[in-house]
Structure 1
Amino acid sequence: MLLRGLRLHGKWCRFSSPITQFLTLTVVTFGVLAPLICHRLLHSYFYLRRWHLNSMSEEFLKQNQEDGQTALRYFEDLRTPNSSEISGDKALRPWLLITIVTVQRRNEFHYVLQVASRFHRLLQQCGPRCQNYQVFICNVEQDPGNHQDARLLGNFFAMVSRYKNWEDPDAAVNQFEKEKRDYAFCMEQSLLAYNPEYILLVEDDAVPEEEIFPVLQHLLLERLSKPHLKDALYLKLYHPERLQHYINPEPMRILEWLGLGMFLGPLLSFVYSWVSGRPSLTWPIVLFFALYSMALAELVGRHYLLELRRLTPVLYNVVPVTECCMPAMVFSASSARRALGYLQEVHCHPGFAKDTALYSLLRIKDERAYVVEPNLVRHVGMFSSLRPNNIPKLL
């Protein structure tokens, strides 16, 4: 059946001009097939926002609430370890300390329990390879006793609280500056308590992907040990999917996009020549298919192409960092100390949050930082502690 279809297509190709064929292919692809296939893909240009956004946002919130209840039951059913198991052997320097920064918000979603339960389960599955990993809870709620989820986690993991009782920070300190100071506090406490080789600072709504530990081991031990990547200030594990398109200010993505066209252009041209019975490739045909494949990749969504890299840690990409968002960041011990010093030099305010502040310091301090693609955490929190929103949307 397939061969018959190809033969029929070949006859049509031989008896019609390439311009007609390419015009037909373009109209069918971008006007019919892609919109039909991709209209529910959240990060595609073909996504029908008016049709799907409200229902998909409601479904996401419902699933998130169910995941929160599952995480709560996970810890309720878990055996409570003794105090020595919780504190761990601090004489043994952890290779990776997973510090979860948490603040009380929206009890019904149990964000921090979702994050902690996933890390706990992944560490159990990882076995001996991850025996030198520790989980550390950093509670920055102003009334720490009111953070019920953090209190529950204190039965299973080592924990530190920034505020002992209800404390009102200096009235002159805005919420953005407070968040920066909370973040710096958790980083400093991680160094003081454990002095690990690496710190993974995770916000309490960043759920790790299943493959996070094998990928981190590969990146930190092999990729980031190379001279041109070594001693970076930080490695970012998440960048918003909506900002992952090729058409962006980052030059590396433009080069990647051109490379995709240079690879798929000749490949699709060869297939076209074989099907149509044309004797050889010509540069206009190669150029058309290069532009065709580049346009299709951008409109469908680069995010979905990046997902193919999850097949193996070797395929993960490490590129120069972008500005927005830091729900999960990896610091070496030395770079964490440098970052602490840098953060003390800046004052955060609306429009200049801690992620922007840290990014702005890279050029000033002649530092380098990188982001891994695809993301190694999922940002599940739709209720921001900085920007209240009672009707959150996925976009």
Structure 2
Amino acid sequence: MLPRGLQPCGRLCRWSSPFLQLLALTAVTFVVLAPLTCHRLLHSYYYLRRWYLSPMSQDFLQQNQEDGLRALHYFERLRVHNASEPAPGEARRTGLLITIITVQRHPEFHYVLQVASRFHSLLRQCGAPCRRHQILLCNVEADPSTHADAQLLAGFFGVANRYGSRQAPEPSLNQFEKEKRDYAYCLEKSLQDYDPEHVLLVEDDAVPEDEIFPVLNHLLQVRFSKPHLRDALYMKLYHPERLQRYLNPEPMRILEWLGVGMLGGSLLGFAYAWAAGRPGPSWPIALFFALYSMLLVELVGRHYLLELRRLAPPLYNVVPATECCTPAMLFSAPSARRALGYLKKLRCRSGFAKDTALYSLLRTKGERAFVVEPNLVRHVGMFSSLRVNINPKLL
């Protein structure tokens, strides 16, 4: 019989095995903790869509309607105080022209008022760095007089009406081609009337984030000094969150994902080695934690990792653009003229909308385009101007 101090340690020794410890960590993380903490996160794989999507969508619509009423009251108060914007030509050449493209739809949400009030408020807060920024409203409603919110905004900003008594939409024109022509008109009108250095073309359901102007000022002053960015055809300020995952057909994200694994694997590997009283992690331990970190970030949601970049403008990422979508697009004056020339030669249709048309130019014309991460606008419109959607959902 062995002395008392040399008795076999049994189950305790088995649990000191790194394999069992890491297996237990994996099970607890991905089967217990992550589902419990992430089941309400809209852009996580753990999101319980069947349970939460419908009520969250209804809450979003209600909140959106309340935001629309607040925006309406914002401009009503401004009108009382006669706080209109300066007319074009009173200031020096426009640095950044914010052109909001709008059409009448679901007036109870006051989409364009939400966008315009937020830009107006943020410009006031921005101060001197934004003194050469201006706002233009581009009304593409077939009968502009029926767009009540646009009529209200005409007392505060410059307005360009696409249609009127002398011009009406072509009846035979498909909706996708009409949208492209309206888009091109607003871009061309922006260049003609304001001669801006840059145009931010914004759709009327893209509400700006709080930090949009500090980030744009940083991009225009610092990042755009690099030729490959300065000469880009356009810069997207929004990409749908559901398409921001690593497991999407955007190969440039693979390097970022590997970087997350290398950083997470190193930090967690050394933490594990310290907790286990080891001098340092072995390569199998480091590899495990690298894969562990990569899987955790993907399942929880890359979108939430990107939110950490909002801490400071230099942390924002600029990467090659992908196809979808056009809620907020930044053009330099030269690139805007090139884009106009290209768009006039293209005809849009179902399956080849304006975002696809713009993206196709990158290949056919040898152009470049980029997207800023995380998003600088929030897409709040759940009712499309192109497709009928009676019961909209967030996803």
Shorter chain as denominator, the TM-score bin is over 0.9
Determine if contact 1:94/1:195 at 8 Å carries over to the other structure.
Answer: yes
2:228 is the counterpart of 1:237? no
SS in structure 1 at match of 2:23: helix
Determine if contact 1:233/1:339 at 8 Å carries over to the other structure.
Answer: yes
For 1:347, the equivalent position in structure 2 comes to: 347
For 2:262, the equivalent position in structure 1 comes to: 262
The CA distance in 1 between the partners of 2:100 and 2:113, in whole Å, is: 10
TM-score, normalised by the number of residues in structure 2: 0.94
Determine if contact 2:84/2:156 at 8 Å carries over to the other structure.
Answer: no
Determine if contact 1:211/1:376 at 8 Å carries over to the other structure.
Answer: yes
Change (3 A) 1:81 1:360: farther
2:46 is the counterpart of 1:26? no
**1:127: how far off?**
1.3
2:283 is the counterpart of 1:271? no
For 2:295, the equivalent position in structure 1 comes to: 295
Identity of aligned residues (%): 70
For 1:213, the equivalent position in structure 2 comes to: 213
What is the aligned-residue RMSD (CA, Å)?
Answer: 1.7
For 2:203, the equivalent position in structure 1 comes to: 203
For 2:180, the equivalent position in structure 1 comes to: 180
**1:221: how far off?**
1.2
Q: Which amino acid aligns with 2:292?
A: Y
**1:384-395 equivalences in 2 (<5 Å):** 384-395=384-395
**1:118-157 equivalences in 2 (<5 Å):** 118-157=118-157
Change (3 A) 1:344 1:26: same
The CA distance in 1 between the partners of 2:80 and 2:365, in whole Å, is: 45
Determine if contact 2:84/2:157 at 8 Å carries over to the other structure.
Answer: no
Change (3 A) 1:93 1:194: same
Determine if contact 2:232/2:369 at 8 Å carries over to the other structure.
Answer: yes
Determine if contact 2:233/2:336 at 8 Å carries over to the other structure.
Answer: yes
Determine if contact 1:142/1:165 at 8 Å carries over to the other structure.
Answer: no
Determine if contact 2:104/2:147 at 8 Å carries over to the other structure.
Answer: yes
For 1:65, the equivalent position in structure 2 comes to: 65
For 1:361, the equivalent position in structure 2 comes to: 361
> What residue ranges of structure 2 are gaps of 5+ in the alignment?
1-10
Change (3 A) 1:366 1:152: same
For 2:7, the equivalent position in structure 1 comes to: none
**1:373-392 equivalences in 2 (<5 Å):** 373-392=373-392
Change (3 A) 1:144 1:265: same
The CA distance in 2 between the partners of 1:80 and 1:187, in whole Å, is: 32
Q: Which amino acid aligns with 1:132?
A: R
For 2:310, the equivalent position in structure 1 comes to: 310
**1:388: how far off?**
1.1
The CA distance in 2 between the partners of 1:166 and 1:23, in whole Å, is: 73
Change (3 A) 1:82 1:62: closer
For 2:88, the equivalent position in structure 1 comes to: 88
The CA distance in 2 between the partners of 1:171 and 1:126, in whole Å, is: 44
Change (3 A) 1:28 1:359: same
Q: Which amino acid aligns with 1:267?
A: L
Determine if contact 2:43/2:301 at 8 Å carries over to the other structure.
Answer: yes
The number of residue pairs the alignment matches comes to 385
Q: C-alpha offsets along residues 166-202 of structure 1, whole Å, 9 cap, x if unaligned? A: 9652233100000000000000000000010000000
For 1:7, the equivalent position in structure 2 comes to: none
Q: Which amino acid aligns with 2:322?
A: T
**1:43: how far off?**
0.2
Structure 1, 74-83 or 160-169: larger mean CA deviation: 74-83
> What residue ranges of structure 1 are gaps of 5+ in the alignment?
1-10
Change (3 A) 1:85 1:307: closer
**1:227: how far off?**
2.5
The CA distance in 1 between the partners of 2:176 and 2:200, in whole Å, is: 21
